[in-house]
Structure 1
């Protein structure tokens, strides 16, 4: 089933997304762009939470860091938004390594609380206008936008397609990571950390690796979020945003189709039922509870393989 989705489902998804702007007005095009950006962040969250099994509730930190890096470089140093993307990937990835180092030995709710703390610290730093470049509570406004060829007269459309290209690249990375030795090591780490360490998997290194990759992808998504709104502000990257990304992975399941479904359920559906403001969150919360009872591993979970007995007997992790 999953192979058929990979062969036919992913191309159909991108064909649909490419044609979507022709069917949407400006409001729903903005929703579609945010859907794409949030999908990138949720995929980055899946590397840490879904693949490595680490309870991280601070992904909005790296998302916001990437957005602010791009905004600062563009607003204060005149960099084109597209040129800020490498910095928005590399700097959060480095911070992912630095922040993960002291906390990766923590498990469960202890790691959860530590990651929340980092998110709160980040919000306080940008709200207090560190170095006079973050804009304080008001954020940074009037950013330039990525000018894709053919979309110079339609910045909103250009923002959508720029984000869609970033999502496509994230798909490629996630697909290749899942097929790689590192990806299998993360899966085994999630299933049984003790057994993984017994066969020679350096669990600490792979945990830090997951944080670095997840942070870099989330930082990239931040650039396209800043590009979409031509602005950044602290409330866009607060703890509630981290809760949203955490919930997307839990509800959708640790797979690419699951993540996309999770973003649709957690973000797009509330927008669809915005007219029923009084009851929409009640129905939404009830649906989440029912989903978790019926599908505790998410709507579309990935199949995680256990460590082969052969490797446990040999005490060596060496898969070609």
Structure 2
């Protein structure tokens, strides 16, 4: 698989670079959504795949970024470009604050807690918090993104903006993988007790994972607001969180796995939309088969366990 990745990435990037010119407007919109969902799913992978925490509330952070952009642009007249730092920082800070009291939870307990936060978030949006969120109808009529004089008024231009955000996210993921923090998250996923025995602060790294994951999802929210020039609560509900969770589970915790997961869970249903009566049955059955035959995902990452000598040295030193 490593050889396939080495040659597959250039092909993937080349295809994606020319793709919008080969598609009609409907499929250009699908391609943009693919890129947005890929960014959110990669952010989900930081918490779920890399760290092993069952977060089922990623749409919350996605929505925070989108609403931060929409509110600042529509209510306060900020240019769309200027909202990007806020759309990253607000979800990141919220992710850190949310993670503080819950990172000690594991498995189903963490899953249910994050579901609850996502449901509360949607209810707050629907109740038109402070007259800012627009209630059930959301916020409409956002300005087009203006990138230093380049106005993103067409779907093709928004596509390349989304593609640039995906490339930036892939760069971040690569740096995380090769960093001390990335190795610490892997170790926590594989064996938290052993990781703590060699000095890894589980709480700090888990909160870091939530914050980084939330910030990236918020960035994707800005792209979403740019694409549709509108935001509404139903776009960030619990069902969306289930989709992002399923993408990582089905595709596997790796960059190719996540991209493949987005294709399987989002693009294929769009391709078979004309078979609406049967498509969910077919894909539900396919998911069951995938979990039976490939329990770690279609394209899983190779997680390295903590070297035994490090654990022994730590215990000996203690």
Which TM bucket (shorter chain)? over 0.9
Pairwise CA distance, 1:10: 2.1
Give the secondary structure class of the aligned counterpart of 1:195: helix
Aligned to 2:207: 208
Residue by residue, what CA displacement relative to the aligned partner does 1:31-88 show, whole Å, maximum 9, x if unpaired?
0000000000000000000000000000000000000000001111111112111111
Aligned to 1:276: 275
Aligned to 1:22: 21
| Residues 146 and 152 in structure 2, CA contact (< 8 A), matched pair in contact too | no
> Which consecutive unaligned segments of at least 5 residues does structure 2 have?
none
Aligned to 2:66: 67
Change (3 A) 1:294 1:34: same
Question: In structure 1, how many angstroms separate the alpha carbons of the residues matched to 2:101 and 2:152?
Answer: 48
After TM superposition, the structure 1 stretch with the greater mean CA deviation from structure 2, 246-255 or 281-290, is 281-290
Aligned to 1:10: 9
User: Mapping of 1:1-320 within 5 angstroms?
Assistant: 1-2=1-2, 5=5, 7-148=6-147, 152=151, 154-315=153-314
> Which consecutive unaligned segments of at least 5 residues does structure 1 have?
none
Scaled by the length of structure 1, the TM-score of the pair is 0.96
Pairwise CA distance, 1:4: 5.2
Scaled by the length of structure 2, the TM-score of the pair is 0.96
| Residues 148 and 158 in structure 1, CA contact (< 8 A), matched pair in contact too | no
Moved over 6 A (4+): none
Pairwise CA distance, 1:250: 0.2
Pairwise CA distance, 1:21: 0.8
Could you say what the CA RMSD is over the residues aligned between the two structures, in angstroms? 1.4
| Residues 247 and 262 in structure 2, CA contact (< 8 A), matched pair in contact too | yes
Pairwise CA distance, 1:147: 3.4
| Residues 145 and 151 in structure 2, CA contact (< 8 A), matched pair in contact too | no
Tell me the number of residue pairs that the alignment of Structure 1 and Structure 2 aligns: 315
| Residues 49 and 253 in structure 2, CA contact (< 8 A), matched pair in contact too | yes
